[in-house]
């Protein structure tokens, strides 16, 4: 099985990547401005929704119920989609999904594909698989197009090019579109993107989409977006291929009522998405005449098997947790090394890998709880982060690494007052070469990781326990005298 989450398996640790990115003042300014704008809009439209907390609770309950009966709803979706003229494929991992999709494009003689909602395809590395087989993918979401033309990587779940400002977008468009003149006014940038994409929409015969929701009762697919490119991608081509994680399923069309109120407010601060596209199978003479859905596991069933972390699969990819996270707002998304960044990425990515990679991500959080407060489906991200940290620590303690041995030794010292006092006496003797003006600013070896970012006070000349003994002794002697 080949579990792939973009290039996360080869990415440096979060701490190492963040340390470098924190020096990029322009990136931090771009991220701070964009997240402030989105968070401000979200706060206004959430406040006016009187039953917001009820909607959150309902969405969480729907997700819990669906995951408890996931096998039943997936089979129900397959039967309904097939009855409507669609074809359902099952992919256990990234390689299998890529193979299925590339073979379908070849089967229909395609050399180009227009894409919308591509996060899950980024997870499996679909564009690389396309290009390796002589197929050219065209991203049509504006932000994804900026990332593709800029040979860049996404940095946000909803706004992948959030780290770019409009001056940088202008430079990318002029270079990649061969334009001699272009201002950085939003309207001019949008017009340039529209003209660039229009030809692709009219010419390319194969469309590819992700999915926001799969509807088990009708076999339908729902994609929501703000630019209209999704509507083009799912209606104009002759062939449509959809890739969706198995957690995207919801029981019925009626459940959309809940999610279509929560998602736009949380994601972009809109009361509703400008474009909501729903389709079921194929219809003669209307829209694509061949429709395929690829249902992707790629590590999701392993998350499902963990009762304490299962709520991770509730995520509807709104990105609200990123916009409010004090860590993400400083580092941006690239520090996470994954297409899934921010607090939700810190729990999704390592779990998809079954904790074999990205083990630094659960520590990329202050555990302040802001992500939980804004999550529209009430994922308790801090709770899952602590659970994952526990898994990492237990795994490390099972081995013979220095930190695990040190922690076991400390536990033995702290379990005995006599041993603790002996250790304090040794500590006072050993610390004197490092004490300067009442502070310890540098320690050798692994202990230097502590003093690299903070100073510490030396051990006092007398412990409280020792002082208390002397104090009691003096009292007793005074009373006897």
Task: Please compute, for residue 224, the number of CA atoms within 13 A of its CA located in the half-sphere on the CB side.
Answer: 22
* pTM for the full predicted model: 0.86
Q: What is the pLDDT of residues 440-472, one digit of tens each?
A: 998 888 788 888 888 889 999 999 989 999 999
Contact 121, 141 (CB under 8 A): no
Contact 328, 366 (CB under 8 A): no
447 vs 449: CA distance, rounded Å:
5
- The residue whose two tokens read 């701490």 is 15
Q: What is the pLDDT of residues 237-295, one digit of tens each?
A: 999 999 999 999 999 999 999 999 999 999 999 999 999 999 999 999 999 999 999 99
CA separation (Å) from 189 to 143, 193, 349, 406, 456?
12, 6, 33, 57, 53
Instruction: Quote the crossing angle between the two packed helices 52-68 and 256-268, to the nearest 10°.
Output: 120
State which H helix or E strand residue 89 sits in: strand 87-91
Question: CB burial class (10 A; 0-12, 13-18, 19+) of residue 355?
Answer: middle
CA separation (Å) from 363 to 140, 342, 355?
34, 11, 13
Nearest to 98 by CA among 300, 298, 306, 286: 298
Q: Are strands 439-440 and 435-436 parallel, antiparallel or unpaired?
A: antiparallel
* pLDDT score at 181: 94
Nearest to 432 by CA among 459, 411, 451: 459
* Tens-level pLDDT at each residue, the chain (481 residues): 789 999 999 999 999 999 999 999 999 999 999 999 999 999 999 999 999 999 999 999 999 999 999 999 999 999 999 999 999 999 999 999 999 999 999 999 999 999 999 899 999 999 999 999 999 999 999 999 999 999 999 999 999 999 999 999 999 999 999 999 999 999 999 999 999 999 999 999 999 999 999 999 999 999 999 999 999 999 999 999 999 999 999 999 999 999 999 999 999 999 999 999 999 999 999 999 999 999 999 999 999 999 999 999 999 999 999 999 999 999 999 999 999 999 999 999 999 999 999 999 999 999 999 999 999 999 999 999 999 999 998 887 776 677 778 888 889 999 999 999 999 999 999 998 999 989 999 888 878 888 888 888 999 999 998 999 999 999 988 887 6
Contact 214, 244 (CB under 8 A): yes
* pLDDT score at 478: 84
CATH code for residues 8-302: 3.40.50.10420
Q: How far is CA 68 from the centre of its chain?
A: 23
51 vs 56: CA distance, rounded Å:
9
* pLDDT score at 448: 85
Contact 359, 347 (CB under 8 A): no
Residue intervals in the chain for CATH 3.40.50.10420: 8-302
Contact 326, 320 (CB under 8 A): no
* pLDDT score at 151: 96
* pLDDT score at 348: 98
* pLDDT score at 400: 67
């Amino acid at each position: 099985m080949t579990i792939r989450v973009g290039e996360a398996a080869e990415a440096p640790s979060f701490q190492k990547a963040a340390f470098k990115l924190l020096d990029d003042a322009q990136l931090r300014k771009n991220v701070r401005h964009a997240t402030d704008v989105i968070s401000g809009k979200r706060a206004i439209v959430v406040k006016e929704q009187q039953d917001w907390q009820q909607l959150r609770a309902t969405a969480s309950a729907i997700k819990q119920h669906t995951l408890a009966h996931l096998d039943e709803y997936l089979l129900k979706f397959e039967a309904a989609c097939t009855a409507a003229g669609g074809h359902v494929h099952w992919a256990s991992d990234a390689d299998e999904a890529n193979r299925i999709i590339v073979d379908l494009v070849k089967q229909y003689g395609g050399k180009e594909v227009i894409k919308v909602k591509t996060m899950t395809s980024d997870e499996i590395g679909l564009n690389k698989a396309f290009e390796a087989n002589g197929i050219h993918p065209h991203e049509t979401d504006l932000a994804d197009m900026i990332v593709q033309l800029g040979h860049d990587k996404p940095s946000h779940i909803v706004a992948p090019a959030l780290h770019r400002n409009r001056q940088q977008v202008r430079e990318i468009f002029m270079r990649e579109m061969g334009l001699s003149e272009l201002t950085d006014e939003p309207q001019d940038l949008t017009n340039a993107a529209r003209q660039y994409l229009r030809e692709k929409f009219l010419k390319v015969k194969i469309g590819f989409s992700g999915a926001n929701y799969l509807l088990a009762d009708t076999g339908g697919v729902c994609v929501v977006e703000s630019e209209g490119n999704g509507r083009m991608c799912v209606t104009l081509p002759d062939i449509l291929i959809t890739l969706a994680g198995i957690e995207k399923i919801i029981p019925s069309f009626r459940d959309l009522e809940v999610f279509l109120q929560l998602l736009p407010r949380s994601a972009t601060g809109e009361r509703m998405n400008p474009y909501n596209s729903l389709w079921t199978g194929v219809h003669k003479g209307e829209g694509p005449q061949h429709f395929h859905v690829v249902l992707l596991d790629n590590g999701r069933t392993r998350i499902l098997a963990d009762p304490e972390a299962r709520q991770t699969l509730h995520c509807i990819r709104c990105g609200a947790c990123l916009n409010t996270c004090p860590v993400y707002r400083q580092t941006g998304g690239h520090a996470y090394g994954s297409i899934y960044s921010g607090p939700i990425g810190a729990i999704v990515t390592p779990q998809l890998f079954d904790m074999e990679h990205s083990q630094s991500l659960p520590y990329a959080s202050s555990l302040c709880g802001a992500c939980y407060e804004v999550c529209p489906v009430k994922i308790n991200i801090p709770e899952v982060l602590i659970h994952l940290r526990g898994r990492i620590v237990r795994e490390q303690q099972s081995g013979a690494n220095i930190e695990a041995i040190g922690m076991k030794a400390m536990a033995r010292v702290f379990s005995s007052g006599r041993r603790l006092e002996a250790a304090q006496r040794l500590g006072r003797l050993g610390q004197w070469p490092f004490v300067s003006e009442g502070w310890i600013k540098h320690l050798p070896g692994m202990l230097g990781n502590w003093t690299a970012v903070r100073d510490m006070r030396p051990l006092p000349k007398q412990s409280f326990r020792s002082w208390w003994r002397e104090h009691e002794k003096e009292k007793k002697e005074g009373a006897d005298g």
